[in-house]
Structures are given as C-alpha cells and as structure tokens.
C-alpha cells in the first residue's frame, strides 16, 4: 500500500468516526431539547395545579365560613369542577414526568428549589 493510499484510508476512517460522533451528539442534543421542553411544561402544570387548588380552598372556605355550611360534598358543582380540573392536570403531570424520566431525567431535575434548574 502506498503512502497516498494509507493517507486516504486514514482520512476515510477519520471522516467515518467524525460522522458517527456528530450523529450521536445531534441525537443527544435533541434529547436534551425535549427534556427541557418537558421540564418547562411540568413546572407550568404544577403551578396551574397550585392555582386550582387555591381556588378550591377558597370555595371551601366560602362554603364553611361565609355561608356557614355544616357540611360540603365533592359532588357540589362549585367543588366538582375544581376537583375534575385538578385530576386532569395531575394526570398530565404524571404523563410528562414519565416521559421526562424515560429520557433520562431525574426527579431532582424537576425540583423548582434546585438552583441549577
């Protein structure tokens, strides 16, 4: 094998290796992008759930304190709507968290208290 042939073979191996590395890096970047999107969705959904829970709490307070209700039921329309919405949000959160974990994310990555978030 001549020097030129050896150099050509070496260059071809180098290019093949570079393509493989770039392909893997691109796939990882896509995964990280999807994880970032899921993380933002999860944080927004958790915040939304907190707002709905606060609205439910206000409705319960109003029933007991302002209307002097002796008891309340989850079937009452004012509570039922909030409870249904909370269940929907929590189901969506569970789905997004499962997808996030499947991509390799950890629970600590989703912690809003985490300064690295």
Q: Domain ranges in the chain?
A: 31-110
The Cα 8–Cα 93 span in angstroms is 54
111 pLDDT tier (thresholds 50, 70, 90): confident
Verdict on whether the full-model pTM lies above 0.95: no
* Average of per-residue pLDDT across 81-107: 95
As given in the structure block, the two tokens for residue 41 are 């969705």
First-to-last CA distance in the chain? 55
Do 72 and 63 contact (CB within 8 A), yes or no?
yes
pLDDT single digits (tens) 32-67: 899 999 999 999 999 999 999 999 999 999 999 988
Question: Across residues 6-19, what is the average pLDDT?
Answer: 76
């Amino acid at each position: 094998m001549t020097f030129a042939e050896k150099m050509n073979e070496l260059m071809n191996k180098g290019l093949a290796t570079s393509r493989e590395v770039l392909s893997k890096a691109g796939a990882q970047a896509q995964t990280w992008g999807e994880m970032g999107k899921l993380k933002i969705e999860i944080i927004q959904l958790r915040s939304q759930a907190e707002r709905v829970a606060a609205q439910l709490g206000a409705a319960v307070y109003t029933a007991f304190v302002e209307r002097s209700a002796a008891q309340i039921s989850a079937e009452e329309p004012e509570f039922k709507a909030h409870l249904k919405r909370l269940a929907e949000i929590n189901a969506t959160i569970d789905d997004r968290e499962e997808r996030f974990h499947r991509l390799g994310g950890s629970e600590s990555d989703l912690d809003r208290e985490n300064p690295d978030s």
